[in-house]
Structure formats: C-alpha cells, structure tokens
Structure 1
C-alpha cells in the first residue's frame, strides 16, 4: 500500500467518523434552541475545546502557517494575543452572557443586545454584521478545506472543495450544535496531537531551535523579530493585532456564543484555562511555516506555489504516511470545527434574528417548522459560501483577518462595554455597530484595491471609530433603563 493511499484512508475514516456523529445527533434535535445552543447542558471540557478549536480554525492552521512562511515570527504575535483574548473574553463576557441568556432565553448575540438596548434596530444591524463577517470567514475556511483536500486526494481545488463541503453539509445540517460540540471535542484532541507531532518532528528535521533561528535570520533578519523593521508586519500591525485579537476576541460570535452552552456558571473558570491552554498548543503547528522556509532554502523541498499550501506540502514531504494522515486529519479538524460554528451563527442570524424576531415580530413557530427552517437556511448558507469560495479573492490568512475585523468593530463596543456601562444608549449602539460594519468592510475594500493602504489594520481602525462613536453618542443622548441590568443586580443580590 503506497503512502498516498494510507493518507487517503486515514482522511476518509476521519471524515466518515464525524459524519456518523452528525447523523447520530440528528435524533436529539427537537427545536431551534437545541439546534443552535444544544440545550445549554454541556460541561467545561466540551465547551472549552469548542472555544479553542473554533478560535484556531482553518484560518489558523492553514492561513497563519502560510503567513509565518512569508513573514516569520511576527505572525506568532497573533497566537499570543489570541490566547490572551480567550482569557479576556471569559473574564468579561462569559458570566453575564450565560446569566442573561438563561433569563431571556437568548440563543444568539443579537438576542442579548436587543434585551440590553430594547431595540429591534440593534438586533438587525448586529445580525447583518454577523452574517457578513461569517460569510467572509467561511470563505476562508472553505479555501483552506479545498487546499487541504486537493493535496490529500490529488484532485483539482474545485473538486476537493465540493467533496469537503458535501461532508460538512451532512453533519452540520443534520446535527446542529449538539453535533458541533461533540465533533469540536474530538477534533481538538486530534488537533493537539497533530500539532505536537509536527512541532517535535519538524524541529528534529531542521536541527533544533538555535539552528532554525540561525537559518531564518540568514534568509531575512526581520523574520526573527517580534515585528518587522522594514517588512509588512511592522509596529503598526503589531498594535493592530492587539486590538483585533486581545480586545477583539470578545466580538467573535462563533466563539463567545459557546458561553450559552455550559451547564453551570461555576464551570466557566475551568473552561477558560482549558481553552487557552489547548489553543496555545495547537499554535505550535505554525512552526511549519519556518520549517518550510528552511527546507526550501536548503534545496530539500520545492517552494510551495501558494502560502496556503505550505502546511499540506510540508507534511506530505517529510512525514511517514500514517503520521501524515493523522496530521492531515488534525488540519481538517481545525477547518471543520470553525466551519460548522460559522454556518450555525450565520443561519441563526437569518432564522432567529431577522426572520423570527424582526419579520415575524417574535411569533413562536411550531417546533418542527422552526427546526426545518433552520436546516434549510443552514443549507442555503453552505451553498452560497461554496459558490463564493470557488474563486476566493484573497489568501486564507488575510481573508480571515478581515472577517475578525468586521466582528471587532461591529460587536465589541455594544457588547463588552454595553453589558457593563449603564449609561450606554440605544442610539449609540445603532450608530456604533453601523459605523463599525461600514468602515471595516469599506476600508478593507480600499486596501485590497490599493486605493488606501493605512499603516494600522483596517479592522483596528474601524474598531476605534465605532468605540469613539459608542462612548460619545452615549454621553450626549438620554440614558434608558434596561431589564438586563435589573437581572444582573438581582443575581448579585442573590449571591451575596
């Protein structure tokens, strides 16, 4: 049996396994609540590994490995900042989101924001922001999935993408969030094992850390610095990453929506430590970018035709087929875990936030009808993002970064500041989210077209604009009462 066949069999076994989980989970889906939140009955390990796996994503495993190959150590600051961001998100948002969700029956972030600001407009704007960012981020996942499977299967990108999306469709549409949580749990274990194998094996291959750094420095001294002195990731990019990945982690709906699902609030502290630790371990896979740079420089490997192919080609070239198969499964796990999360939040934005709560004015649908509608909309989102991903506009790394920027600018001020600051007003929330959405998308388009290329990341600029607007407009508009603060106050009184 040749190496490619072994890799293929391991990959197929993994994909069939998660399909079985999805189909098995289908019988537990009773209504929209179980489809989107899993019934809020999961323990800290399941929730924690779901948070870390969806934070990593195909953007992390494929896109950032490619960016490390191009730019070196400065890209690792994203991992350091994102690890810190997990702690910040749990510290600031986990408890209030879980308590408010239980009181108001919230299933989505716009659910909580409508309760906080008593505004359908805030719900609509934030739902659109989530939908727009989710589609962009999902394109990054699909591109990573296509790149991965074309290497494993030896077929064209479009065919590989179709196969991957078909499998994803079966287990996400059928199983919903119950399937997502369990597959995230399994996938994160695979991701941790795969990252450790690659890190240790690759380090032995290049001759250790000192040798690695020496050779990388000889290629480009800027690649071993925390940020470039002359390259594309300079001090302003470094500052931007702080805003996007430390502060901005709180605005990532595919991650913070997991806070709804934990069984008890007291479990959140353990989930926080587990999530941050496992994410940091999986980020070791990014060293593949440096290993590949060294092996290409030595002439022991051909230069990858695209940075997005760095991880799959390195693994295929230098690992035993059985080990390579496990690592490929780990990378597919990263892609699949985030794909399912984004598909579900995009679907919930349409079904729950726009159709049911705005168009139907909160009318309760029959359980079977709302579950069927949720599945059909999820399927529609899959088809749309698949078509857009057949010819995606950017590298996986930069595409994912742009989507993070949309979420940061549109959601962080109204959510993280708004849940603590009683002075924040409905008008401020409407303007802040609107400006965040418009500027994050508009500035990114200008940057891609080369019309305006700012020193700071476009998402970071949009975030600063939306934050200033949120605070400023709150201070000049009339304060309104909110049931959310009454609920938090009552909880504090009860626990005293």
Structure 2
C-alpha cells in the first residue's frame, strides 16, 4: 500500500510538470510563474521551501540525537518568516516588478550598479544551492530507500530521474502548485503523527520523564554539557531569524505574488503552516523513547529516523500519504533550488556578464536554462552518492552560506542608501568564502568554533558592509529615486533593463 501510494504520487507530480510545460513561454513564467499567484499559493510555497526535506528528514534526525534544543531552529525559522516578510517582501516585489528583475543578482546589480556584485552573489547562490541540493537528494534517497525497499544509490537515481522531468519541464509554476498540494497533506500528516505518536509514548509528561532519564540535556532549550549549547542557541538565532532574509529559494517567492496588498495575508499563512508542520519533529523524540524501551530498533543513521518510525507505527495508507507529502516537500524545494542555481548561471553569469547584457531570444534562453538545470542535477547527484554530512548539518551549513553571502547586501542594501558598491563586493565575497571555508574546516575537524560557522561568517559580512560603506563614497541608486509615475525605461535610462 505504501509503495502504491508513493508511485501514484510520483505519477501525479510528473503530470503536473508536463502540464506546466504548456505555460512556459518565456523566462518570466519559468522563474517567477508570471507574477500572478495569490496569497495562499505564495504562502504555502514559502513555508514548504522553508521546511523541505532538510527540515523533515534532517532535523527530525537531529532531534532524535539532541532533543528539544533542535526545536529552537523551528521557533526561530517561524519568526524568520515574519521578519523576511516585514523587511523584504514589499520592497522586493515593488522593485523587481518596476525593473523587470527575475533573480536576486538582477536586483542587486540594479541596487549597486555593479556587475561584480551580480557575479559574486550568483556564484554564492550556485555554491549554496549545490550544498542544499545535496541535503535534499540525501533526504530523497533515504525516503525512497524505505518506500521502495531498494539500495540508497538506486533509490536516489529513481528520485532524481523523476525530479529531472518535473523540474526541467514545469519550472516555477509546477513548483508552486506542488507546494500548495503537498503542504495541505503535510499539515494533516503532521497533526496525525503528532497526536498518534504522543499516545504511543504515553503523553508529554511521560515522554519528557523518559527523555530526562536518558539524558537531561534532551529536554533543555540548549545543552549544559552537550554539543548544542548556548553558543549554538545564539547561532540559530542569527541564522534562522535574521538569516531567513538571505535564503534565495524563499525570498524569490515574493516576486510571484499578484498584488503587494496580499503580502500581509501570505505572511500569516506561511508562518502558521510552517509552525504546524514542525510538529513532525516530535517523531525524533518518540523514536528515542521507543528505542530506549526496546520497542523499536535503533536506526542505522539519524537520517532514517522519520522513515522508520512512520513505516513501523502507522497504518499503510496513512504512512503512504505522509511519505508522499514528504517526497513532495523534498522535490518542490529541490526544484526551487535548481531554478535559482540555473538562473545564476544562465541569466546572471552567461547573459549579463559574458554576453554583456545582450538580449537573447526567449526560446534560446529558456533552452539554456533547461540544459544547465540538467548539468546541475547531474553534478549534485554524483556528489550526493557519498555526502560528507548528515542531512540536517548539510542544510544548516547551506543556510549559513546564503545568510552570510546575501543577507547584508540585500536587506541592508535595500533599506540603507549609504551602502556602497565596494562594500557590497567585499561583504558578499567575504561572506561566501568565510562560510564555506569555516564549514570545510569544521567537517575536517581542523577548527570547530563555538559559534556556528554560518553565524560567524554572517557577522563578518555584515560588519564589512557597514564599515566599508562608512569609509567609501556612496553613489546614487535608481531604486531610491522617486519617479514612480514614469515607466522604468523612461525614468532610469542608465539602469539595466531586465524585462
């Protein structure tokens, strides 16, 4: 039954992808869906891509290992959704619509009048997206390994093959509609799993008592002796509350809403639905208790906690539906990342830098985007055969890379006229290099700092943007010119035209 439901779901998303091909007429529809979606579709796309396979598979495994301390990521990410909507949603929607921008590097070149800023941020997005994709692919392989009962590598190949058709064909339209469908299922699944699992362990008090007997740190917001201490708590605040604004797969959804006035409703819906789906992380606590009681075998790896628990303790129909919803979360987030990664290569590096802004025929640009999407899929698939870390830590590292590379130049840059081009170049480059370099040193065991590597890099990039801006000469930027009554081409003849 689980296998049948899984196959039906995979066929459904293939159909969605193929049907969406009919609407892919140009780059605007491929990358933004034509900016025509209402608040519900945008909100559920935001909450879905914030959760993703990293959230369900990876963080559930980390909860199994470390307890309630990992829930702070969910609490902070929920707050981060509000912060992102409050600070970025309106200006990003207004500016990108006014100038016809499709990507974050598009927007940043307009803001700083610098192709160097575009190039650095495009490379940062590409690098972070590949890392996050590895987390998604590993989660996808773990899920299909359980559902199909095959080897991890074969399961990964099957999932990526289906994802390829879905992404290359459907673009952002298929991603948004799949987000909408799967989030409804995941909300229902989260409630079923939370209530059903709580009954199995005997209620919250009983569960907490048993967790305390295993390790008192399991029931703390941060550990007193364990690895998730006060510095990790502070790091998560930086990365998930403030750093949420630097996540390209999330904030690019602001481009897609039909009207700016709809954003306030989308914000409430997105934060609420994400918080509900985070109840799925209790599976990590339930599993720890069941393993301690001897009622469940210990998972071979924390990344297998969620698949094993759902398969062992829920009726096949319920388990199949939950598995389908989680696979949808993984695939829709994978599509969002593949789209931002391919746009970084085709639009931001090839067209605007190598071809120096030369207007390409729509069909050629769309074809190039699809070919480069295939290349990124292949490269990430090969890297994911033997990933360097658990899903949870891979996702966390990628969040840190995005936060450090993009947040200061985007959020501060859109609000602070004094931010300069030189500062933006230094900030984004330092953020990308330091976040990636520190993570590699941590994985290799060469240097393991108390603060999370992404949080350290974000502090470095923020201080460099502010400090260098104060000692360099600012230049005018078209986004701050109040000439809303004129068309973009008339009011800003010197500004890049991305329409």
Instruction: Identify the residue that residue 169 of structure 1 maps to in structure 2.
Output: 164
Instruction: Identify the residue that residue 434 of structure 1 maps to in structure 2.
Output: 429
Other structure's SS at 2:83 match? helix
Unaligned 5+ segments in structure 2 are 487-499
Residue 189 of structure 1, aligned match among 169, 184, 188? 184
Residue 457 of structure 2, aligned match among 462, 465, 485? 462
Instruction: Identify the residue that residue 418 of structure 1 maps to in structure 2.
Output: 413
Instruction: Identify the residue that residue 126 of structure 2 maps to in structure 1.
Output: 131
CA contact 1:143–1:389 (8 Å) conserved in 2: yes
Instruction: Identify the residue that residue 491 of structure 2 maps to in structure 1.
Output: none
Instruction: Identify the residue that residue 40 of structure 2 maps to in structure 1.
Output: 45
CA contact 1:252–1:404 (8 Å) conserved in 2: yes
Residue 243 of structure 1, aligned match among 234, 238, 245? 238
Instruction: Identify the residue that residue 330 of structure 1 maps to in structure 2.
Output: 325
The answer on 1:363 being equivalent to 2:395 is: no
Shift of 1:488: 8.2
Instruction: Identify the residue that residue 344 of structure 1 maps to in structure 2.
Output: 339
1:131-152 residue CA offsets vs partner (Å, 9 max, x unmatched): 0000000000000000010011
Equivalent residues in 2 for 1:74-223, closer than 5 Å: 74-223=69-218
- RMSD of the alignment, in Å? 1.0
Shift of 1:196: 1.1
Shift of 1:490: 7.2
Other structure's SS at 2:415 match? coil
Count of aligned residue pairs for this structure pair: 486
Residue 31 of structure 1, aligned match among 17, 26, 31? 26
CA distance in 2, matches of 1:226, 1:487: 47
Shift of 1:380: 1.1
Task: Decide whether aligned partners of structure 1 residues 78 and 488 sit closer, same or farther in structure 2, where only a CA change above 3 A counts.
Answer: farther
CA contact 1:149–1:164 (8 Å) conserved in 2: yes
Instruction: Identify the residue that residue 451 of structure 1 maps to in structure 2.
Output: 446
What TM-score do the two structures reach when normalised by structure 1?
0.97
CA distance in 1, matches of 2:200, 2:336: 35
CA distance in 1, matches of 2:458, 2:483: 27
Instruction: Identify the residue that residue 3 of structure 1 maps to in structure 2.
Output: none
Instruction: Identify the residue that residue 255 of structure 1 maps to in structure 2.
Output: 250
Instruction: Identify the residue that residue 63 of structure 2 maps to in structure 1.
Output: 68
Residue 371 of structure 2, aligned match among 362, 369, 376? 376
The farther-off stretch of 180-189 and 470-479 is 180-189
Shift of 1:489: 7.7
Task: Decide whether aligned partners of structure 1 residues 248 and 490 sit closer, same or farther in structure 2, where only a CA change above 3 A counts.
Answer: farther
1:388-433 residue CA offsets vs partner (Å, 9 max, x unmatched): 1111110000000000000000000000000010000000000000
The farther-off stretch of 362-371 and 409-418 is 362-371
Instruction: Identify the residue that residue 494 of structure 1 maps to in structure 2.
Output: none
CA contact 1:190–1:333 (8 Å) conserved in 2: no
CA contact 1:100–1:487 (8 Å) conserved in 2: no
Other structure's SS at 2:414 match? coil
CA distance in 2, matches of 1:177, 1:320: 34
CA distance in 1, matches of 2:50, 2:189: 17
Other structure's SS at 2:481 match? helix
Other structure's SS at 1:418 match? helix
CA contact 1:62–1:144 (8 Å) conserved in 2: yes
1:277-329 residue CA offsets vs partner (Å, 9 max, x unmatched): 00000000000000000000000000000000000001111111111101111
1:185-232 residue CA offsets vs partner (Å, 9 max, x unmatched): 111111111111111110111111111111111111111011000001
CA contact 1:191–1:333 (8 Å) conserved in 2: no
Residue 280 of structure 1, aligned match among 261, 267, 275? 275
CA distance in 1, matches of 2:328, 2:188: 12
CA distance in 2, matches of 1:214, 1:150: 33
The answer on 1:388 being equivalent to 2:383 is: yes
Shift of 1:43: 0.4
CA distance in 2, matches of 1:371, 1:438: 31
The answer on 1:407 being equivalent to 2:428 is: no
1:349-386 residue CA offsets vs partner (Å, 9 max, x unmatched): 00110011111111111111111111111111111111
Instruction: Identify the residue that residue 312 of structure 1 maps to in structure 2.
Output: 307
Task: Decide whether aligned partners of structure 1 residues 445 and 83 sit closer, same or farther in structure 2, where only a CA change above 3 A counts.
Answer: same
The farther-off stretch of 317-326 and 234-243 is 317-326
Moved >3 Å (runs of 4+): 487-491
The farther-off stretch of 388-397 and 482-491 is 482-491
What TM-score do the two structures reach when normalised by structure 2?
0.96
CA distance in 1, matches of 2:294, 2:473: 67
CA contact 1:216–1:294 (8 Å) conserved in 2: yes
CA distance in 1, matches of 2:137, 2:447: 28
